[in-house]
Amino acid sequence: MDNFDLKQFLVENKITPNSRLKEIKAFPGNTGMKIDLLFFIKQNQDEIAKEIGAVHLEDIEIDNLNNPSAIAVFNIDLEDEDEHEAEGGVLFNFGVSFSYPEDVDDNFKGENGDEPRPIEVAGKQLMYIGYNI
Q: What is the pLDDT along the chain (133 residues), one digit of tens a residue?
A: 456 555 555 555 444 555 444 443 444 444 567 889 999 999 999 999 999 999 999 999 998 888 999 999 998 776 655 555 545 668 889 999 999 999 999 999 998 999 999 999 999 999 999 998 8
Within a domain: 128? yes
Within a domain: 9? no
Q: How far is CA 50 from CA 16, 17, 54, 63, 121, in A?
A: 29, 25, 6, 22, 10
Domain that holds residue 127: 16-132
The Cα–Cα gap between 32 and 36 comes to 6
Within a domain: 8? no
Within a domain: 76? yes
Give the type of residue at 108.
F
* Tally of domains in the chain: 1
